[in-house]
Amino acid sequence: MILAHGCYWGKCAFCDGSLDYIGRYEPLTAVEIADRMEEMIRLTGERGFHFVDEAAPPMLLKELALEILKRRMSVVWWTNVRFEKSYTRDLCRLLKQSGCIAVSGGLEVASDRLLKLINKGVSLEQVSRVTDHFTAAGIMVHAYLMYGFPSETAQETIDSLEVVRQLFLNGLVQSAFWHRFALTAHSPVGCHPEKYTVRITEKPFGGFARNDVDFEDTAGADHDIFGEGLRKSLYNYMRGAGFELPLHKWFDDPVPKTQIPPTYVARFLVDEQDCVQRDGHKKVYCLLALLPEVRYYDRNKKGKNVRTAEFLFRFRDGDARFQLKADWGKWLENLLIRLSDKNEKTVTLKDLEIEFKACHFGSFDQFITTPLWQSLREHGLYLL
């Protein structure tokens, strides 16, 4: 199935974005897609769906996931994505809860210079963090890789391989495939070869599509020497082997040493701040399978009776108990009931902060760092 006609990005230099089937972007609504899924289930009994879009729109995926959960549909699905910053930890967890089991995305050339030249709209730092968000949520990641893009040097090819090695080593990608760059007639490279150090060596093409135009790369490396080494190394990395082998060992011809530091990818993942936590514009969604059981009691603390709220959550991975001050507990209990009401207007994190402070409960920042709140964020309270 498709989520949308065409590609919502449509800017990649290697893609035939000037053709109507990619360039004209027309999305369906989440309701229309869910209706079609339910009809296919009724007709076929199948509950696995592959959305074959050029790149799935992340906000439409969010709305579809919410619709799937609203209808309590039992499905699994996977699709193609761009590794863009919209895929926060919360969105990836939501997609997983709705049935997403895998995504495939174009990393292409793991070089920031070439990603910019391709007009991919992502960086290596961004790709590292987004793939971490997907895998942390339990969603498998497949990466499309490219070598031989016009002007790509031998150094950039080897450095790209090193980034890929580190992505596998850190568990951020589960599978991948190297594709040799092919020049298509209606891509930006095909339409404006002079901007990409390309010389087309065949007659001008005037038909609907031609996916392998003959050309010369006048500025790049000899790309023929890399194919087999890239294939062999990737074959091993996908099986958890060969990470310690120097990169030049995979190639029959001499290649440069990588200039990528050994912790290049890992450093993007260290102390990453979940900025959603501080983004007051994010809407709050409660998608808990069950609301908690709550009881209030007095406990003795330093000779004084302190009114306490105890929450019992029955999460999918087991029960969990938490204690809060009674006034915080009563506010949270009412909040979860309100958020679970499908007719209740969606509120933002800023709305909650204003409400919390109006009740004179003290620091909202202190509240959202409690173990209870953090556990809710892991099990069905999303900031999207």
Of 253, 96, 238, nearest in space to 167 by CA = 238
What's the pLDDT at 375? 93
Report the sign of the C-alpha dihedral through residues 347, 353, 356, 357, in that order: negative
Are 156 and 113 contacting, i.e. CB atoms less than 8 angstroms apart?
yes
Q: SS3 for 231?
A: helix
* pLDDT tens track, the chain, 384 positions: 999 999 999 999 999 988 888 889 999 999 999 999 999 999 999 999 999 999 999 999 999 999 999 999 999 999 999 999 999 999 999 999 999 999 999 999 999 999 999 999 999 999 999 999 999 999 999 999 999 999 999 999 999 999 999 999 999 999 999 999 999 999 999 999 999 999 999 998 888 888 999 999 999 999 999 999 999 999 999 999 999 999 999 999 999 999 999 999 999 997 565 444 557 789 999 999 899 999 999 988 777 888 999 999 999 889 999 999 999 999 999 999 999 887 777 899 999 999 999 998 989 999 998 999 999 998 999 999
* 10 DSSP 8-state letter: -
Distances (CA, A) of 381 to 54, 90, 143: 30, 9, 29
DSSP string covering 304-326? EEEEEEEEEEEETTEEEEEEEEH
What's the pLDDT at 278? 59
Angstrom distance (rounded) from CA 160 to CA 169: 14
What's the pLDDT at 271? 56
Amino acid 14 reads F
Of 202, 98, 310, 121, nearest in space to 130 by CA = 121
What's the pLDDT at 289? 86
Report the sign of the C-alpha dihedral through residues 329, 332, 338, 340, in that order: negative
Q: SS3 for 188?
A: helix
What's the pLDDT at 161? 98
